[in-house]
Structure 1
Amino acid sequence: MKPPLRLASLAQGKPAGKRTGGQAGGQELAAFLEEHRRKVEPLHKQTGLASWKHQTTGLKKWSLRVESLERKSAKIYADAKARKKLESWRAAPPREELNARHLEMTWLAYFRERKEPALMRRIIGLQVKIESVYNNFRANLRGEQVADNRIADILADSTDLGLRREAWEASKQIGAKVHEDVRELARLRNRNAQAGGYPDFYRLQLAAQEIDIDELYRILDDLEARTEAPWIREKAGIDAELCARFGVTDANPPPWFYSDPFFQQVPRSRELNLNALFEKSDLVELALATYDGLGMEVRDILKRSSLWPAKGKSQHAFCTNIDQKQDVRILCNLTPSARWMETLLHELGHAVYDKYIDQKLPWALRTPSHTLTTESIALLMGRQVQSADWLGQVRELPAAEVKRLSALIARDRRRALLVFARWALVMCRFERALYEDPERDLDSLWWELVGRLQRVPKPEGRSAPDWASKMHIAAAPVYYHNYLLGDLMASQLERSIRTKVAGKKLIGNKRAGAWLRKAVFEPGARWKWDELVRRATGEKLSARDWAEEVVGKD
């Protein structure tokens, strides 16, 4: 048996200095933190509300408002004197654990958000401009402006290969609109990072996330090696099913054979078409039933949210905590499909994490412990769509039907985890290379990685900035490793529920919901992510549980 992947040394941070508890120093620090909160809390809420308006309407007045507020915020974090004070306190942090973490999280905010005054306006302005283009863009397909959902429907269901190809190509049109700006944004981000002593933006962001780059890439390299043989087998099976579905014999199908523009998801099979299970379903009611079964109230969240497609609205999905209190919202573009059912459960996973953080914590600690920890909950909830428990209890499929489909459900869940892992490796390696050298041939690099890691060939004669059609590269940079690590944590949490929590399952188990609230949500950012994982599951984060499901035991 291969040893489990260990992530113990992944967490990064300066060693704490000698702890002190001097009254004068403690009072000075407390006064600084309170003054900082008074400055940033109202600005955080104003920015959150303006951003929500921008994302839901696409109107320029809101993008300008966001840009103005983000410049005000950047000025706070550009204060060199404040940063110097924080660094001196870090050298001799408070003895009390909560106060020490409060100090560290505030320092990390200054570290993460610092922008050189000469670059601040350009970086913020370009970020907002690019996001506005993504939000308002609609692809042209056969002379018609179409939303992302239309393209997704074609790639999920159509057997017209000509239409599928045109839809896939249409999904990449946005890349030509933004690629020059995205590349320039990478240059500016690098210049800002270098002014702070880092070789590039990628490395700065990992440091701000308390993640060591060398350990992260040892993990990613190991994950790639462990999944290589299983991926070759599963990909061959997926391709054979698709070729049979489309009535062709092609040993290496083109990218438009798959069910989404980036091959992030498992294509539907003849034996198991999850989309058919949701064609007449009320996704919101199913989500309510899911979270009610865990004893988690989401009606208040849904009431504040934007769930349906609209003109000018962002076509993607996200969760936002407007005030780091109780104003938690999600944005979706729901249609009756398995993809949007999974997405709705996913975003509500983020939302309940935010909602149930202990409100007695200092304002700066009323956030998830780490991006990977909130992603773990979102991924845990989203993957339930491919679980027999959820399909039986929430979707209310007859027991005989669930039993008949159980082997296919398990196969597709395993495939889904594997498909996403190989796609996420593309994103991680591409972004690292982008920031190492923004001038390189990114179009060719993209297809080299897609071909090697996903085993999807570049269409003959294609020359286009397809990489820039992925919004995350510009709008959520250096993020994708958190999905991978979040998947590992989600599997570890599932095992903990099965072995430690009364009821031994997640779905329909309010005791499992209570355990997640107490062990994961309520602590907020009280502890670093690695300590949170250890306290919640009793172990360091590892790939053991994920690998056993996806790759199998050796």
Structure 2
Amino acid sequence: MKFLMPLALITLLMMGVISCGENAEQLRNEEIAKMEQEFSTFADSLEKVIAVEYTEVCTKYWEASLNSNEENWNNYSQADMKFNEILANKSNFETLKKFKESNNITDTLMARRLEVMYLGMLSKQIDTAKLNQLSAMQAQIENKYSNYRAKVGNKDLTDNQVEDVLKTSKNQKELQATWLAHKDIGPVVKEDILNLVRLRNEIAHELGYKNYHEMSLKLSEQDPAQIENLFDELDALTRDTFVKLKGEIDTFLAAQNKIKVEQLMPWHYQNRYFQEAPKIYEVDMDKYYKDQDLVKLSVDYFQSLNLPIDDLVAKSDLFEKPNKNQHAYCINIDRHAKDIRVLCNVVPNSRWGETMLHEYGHALYEYHYDASLPWTLKEPAHIFTTEAIAMLFGRMASDPSWMQSMIGISAGEKDSIAETCHNILKLQQLVFSRWSQVMYRFEKELYANPEQDLNALWWSLVEKYQMMKKPEGRDMPDWATKIHIATSPCYYHNYHLGELLASQLYNTITTKVLKDVPNANPGLVGHPEVGEYLIKNVFQPGKRYLWNDMIEKATGEKLTPKYYAIQFVD
């Protein structure tokens, strides 16, 4: 016999089920709202403390960069240690972990803020004594690099002067002596770097990673396997074209130095690491810049894009001084106050013309974050996305259209150098691409096994990817002469990712913003819509999105090497 339930009872039961469901959903929503409010309050409070100490660290670093001495670097180290103590606070980290594991932070912006804060503190969850030791060691090495001058005869040469000799001298003994003198920094810092590497690896092991290289990539939201595959793809993509260009380079340099191709040595390639393209083409780019005010040139260019930099320049330090850091960088000292500064050592040549555009590309990215973003998200989507902007603008320094508009070369001059300028840029990209292979693969192996023969590893990679011969019998720590290995560990691959994205953004700007023919190589001068596009699609979002999501929103595609290949590979 069938059991028949009265319709009224069925209706009541259904209403009860719906009511229970609604109550459960309401309770869940209330729980989420409560947790999100708790997180917001906690994050606001923690960020205030972090922001104050971050500004102090950056200020001390800036001061030490301008006047490199033991006292200033010690002040920086002390500030960095205090900052590390805040990030290493286990109670705060456990609170973040609780929020993360609750799965109750569902607001997209809040969830992103939580993830970035969590990753930022994760690497500091070790004994603060080790963090302090790391800071002190890094500051000590920075001081050694900043104060080092290559000694040739009775002359002490700055890095700029070393580069100038390698670029212009035809005296074989002077070239060799200058290159070797620059390499003398290697033995000075070798053991310091190895001790740093061991300590970094020890920290990575404690946090559950194979080594520091793996940890660095993962904590910056990069998949090590994906990066490895990308560099393998780039190796295959650029190898044949580079082999062809390297033959042209060698033929030119051998003739210039009146030696046989097989006699070419590293000091013949016109810079310290063969990371920049030798001048094998007839266009002397430096002649266009030797009488230029590079600061005014940069100000005027960015103004034409409706990206003024006057306030940024006013806070910067742009010319050579004794005891000053010899390199170039941009630093955001106070994210909310937009206290952004650039350090350069400008001399009127094409390299520093490019560097000024590059560094103020970084500065503009930092300047235009959405003001409503929390402090944690006032960062680039990834470190390589700010490199991409810097490279996009830096490339303009060798673009004839740009040079006509900004420097005032004639239309005839522009046309006469256009093909050669493209060849120069292409050569630069291919030379740098191969150099970045060396840096990426060396650091990967360095952290995998720091006890191996690193001198041999370095030169095996140089010979494989750059096709540059090791001087016979040389067994010195030449790898240790590259400051990035010590002070910007596991960073260099991001430069090349930046080049890929620069080409991708360039394609989007020319085809979708300016609606021009791809690779017509416009200088972008006088196009405020370019500035508007970059502010809206790249700068303002900050770290709101994962880097590949930001790239897809800005260009319609995730990061791809195809536009780089279109521009620079045969």
Aligning the two structures, in what range does the TM-score lie when normalised by the shorter sequence? Answer: over 0.9
CA contact (8 A) 2:253 2:268 kept: yes
Structure 1 or 2, whichever has the larger Rg, is 2
Identify the range of structure 1 (247-256 vs 180-189) with the bigger mean alpha-carbon deviation.
Answer: 247-256
Deviation string 1:308-354 (CA, Å, 9 cap, x unpaired) is 11111111111000011311011111111111111111111100100
Aligned-residue offset at 1:251 = 3.6
Residue 510 of structure 1 is matched in structure 2 by 528
After TM superposition, list the pairs within 5 Å mapping 1:85-104 onto structure 2: 85-91=95-101, 92-104=103-115
Whether 1:383 aligns to 2:395 is yes
Query: Out of 32, 36, 43, which is 2:42 matched to?
Result: 32
Distance 1:352 1:294, change over 3 A: same
Q: Distance in 2 between matches of 1:447 and 1:305?
A: 38
Q: Distance in 2 between matches of 1:19 and 1:331?
A: 50
CA contact (8 A) 1:186 1:435 kept: yes
Residue 105 of structure 1 is matched in structure 2 by 116
Query: Out of 187, 194, 205, which is 2:198 matched to?
Result: 187
Q: Distance in 1 between matches of 2:303 and 2:548?
A: 29
Distance 1:289 1:105, change over 3 A: same
Aligned-residue offset at 1:381 = 0.9
Distance 1:384 1:191, change over 3 A: same
Aligned-residue offset at 1:259 = 1.8
CA contact (8 A) 2:32 2:106 kept: no
> What root-mean-square deviation, in Å, do the aligned CA atoms of Structure 1 and Structure 2 show?
1.5
Distance 1:407 1:187, change over 3 A: same
Q: What one-letter code is carried by the residue in structure 2 that aligns with 1:516?
A: L
After TM superposition, list the pairs within 5 Å mapping 1:398-409 onto structure 2: 398-409=410-421
Residue 424 of structure 1 is matched in structure 2 by 436
Identify the range of structure 1 (245-254 vs 40-49) with the bigger mean alpha-carbon deviation.
Answer: 245-254
Q: Distance in 1 between matches of 2:235 and 2:351?
A: 25
Describe the SS at the equivalent of 1:58.
coil
Describe the SS at the equivalent of 2:178.
helix
Deviation string 1:431-479 (CA, Å, 9 cap, x unpaired) is 0111011111111111110010000000112121110110000111110
Distance 1:58 1:93, change over 3 A: farther
Q: Distance in 2 between matches of 1:21 and 1:45?
A: 36
Query: Out of 521, 534, 551, which is 2:552 matched to?
Result: 534
Query: Out of 231, 256, 259, which is 1:248 matched to?
Result: 259
Residue 345 of structure 1 is matched in structure 2 by 357
CA contact (8 A) 2:124 2:131 kept: no
Residue 508 of structure 2 is matched in structure 1 by 496
Query: Out of 469, 480, 485, which is 1:473 matched to?
Result: 485
Q: Distance in 2 between matches of 1:550 and 1:251?
A: 27
Residue 154 of structure 2 is matched in structure 1 by 143
Aligned-residue offset at 1:93 = 4.8
Q: Distance in 2 between matches of 1:483 and 1:218?
A: 16
Q: Distance in 1 between matches of 2:219 and 2:30?
A: 25
Query: Out of 201, 206, 227, which is 2:217 matched to?
Result: 206
Q: Distance in 1 between matches of 2:546 and 2:252?
A: 44
Aligned-residue offset at 1:21 = 6.4
Q: What one-letter code is carried by the residue in structure 1 that aligns with 2:555?
A: T
TM-score by length of 1: 0.94
CA contact (8 A) 1:93 1:100 kept: no
Aligned-residue offset at 1:38 = 1.8
Gaps of 5+ in 2: 1-27, 517-521
Aligned-residue offset at 1:367 = 1.1
Q: Distance in 2 between matches of 1:520 and 1:19?
A: 33
Q: Distance in 2 between matches of 1:251 and 1:236?
A: 11
CA contact (8 A) 1:148 1:315 kept: yes
Residue 177 of structure 1 is matched in structure 2 by 188
Residue 296 of structure 1 is matched in structure 2 by 307
Residue 16 of structure 2 is matched in structure 1 by none
Q: What one-letter code is carried by the residue in structure 2 that aligns with 1:285?
A: K
Deviation string 1:91-144 (CA, Å, 9 cap, x unpaired) is 315222111111111111102344433412221110110011111111101121
Residue 81 of structure 1 is matched in structure 2 by 91
Gaps of 5+ in 1: 1-17
Describe the SS at the equivalent of 2:330.
strand
Aligned-residue offset at 1:270 = 4.8
Residue 4 of structure 1 is matched in structure 2 by none
Describe the SS at the equivalent of 1:159.
coil
Q: Distance in 2 between matches of 1:397 and 1:370?
A: 37
Distance 1:252 1:29, change over 3 A: farther
Residue 45 of structure 1 is matched in structure 2 by 55
Whether 1:457 aligns to 2:475 is no
Aligned-residue offset at 1:507 = 2.8
After TM superposition, list the pairs within 5 Å mapping 1:279-294 onto structure 2: 279-294=290-305
Query: Out of 302, 320, 333, which is 2:331 matched to?
Result: 320
Q: Distance in 2 between matches of 1:93 and 1:428?
A: 39
Q: What one-letter code is carried by the residue in structure 1 that aligns with 2:428?
A: A
TM-score by length of 2: 0.92
Q: Distance in 2 between matches of 1:434 and 1:317?
A: 26
Deviation string 1:388-419 (CA, Å, 9 cap, x unpaired) is 22111112211101100111011111111111
Query: Out of 129, 136, 143, which is 1:132 matched to?
Result: 143
CA contact (8 A) 2:149 2:157 kept: yes
Identify the range of structure 1 (313-322 vs 495-504) with the bigger mean alpha-carbon deviation.
Answer: 495-504
Describe the SS at the equivalent of 2:469.
coil
Higher relative contact order (CA 8 A, sep 6+): 1
Residue 270 of structure 2 is matched in structure 1 by 259
Describe the SS at the equivalent of 1:329.
strand
Q: Distance in 2 between matches of 1:159 and 1:354?
A: 43
Describe the SS at the equivalent of 1:428.
helix
Q: What one-letter code is carried by the residue in structure 2 that aligns with 1:84?
A: E
Whether 1:524 aligns to 2:510 is no
Describe the SS at the equivalent of 2:225.
helix
Residue 562 of structure 2 is matched in structure 1 by 544
CA contact (8 A) 2:149 2:159 kept: yes
Q: Distance in 1 between matches of 2:179 and 2:454?
A: 20
CA contact (8 A) 1:19 1:93 kept: no
Deviation string 1:506-525 (CA, Å, 9 cap, x unpaired) is 23311111111111001111
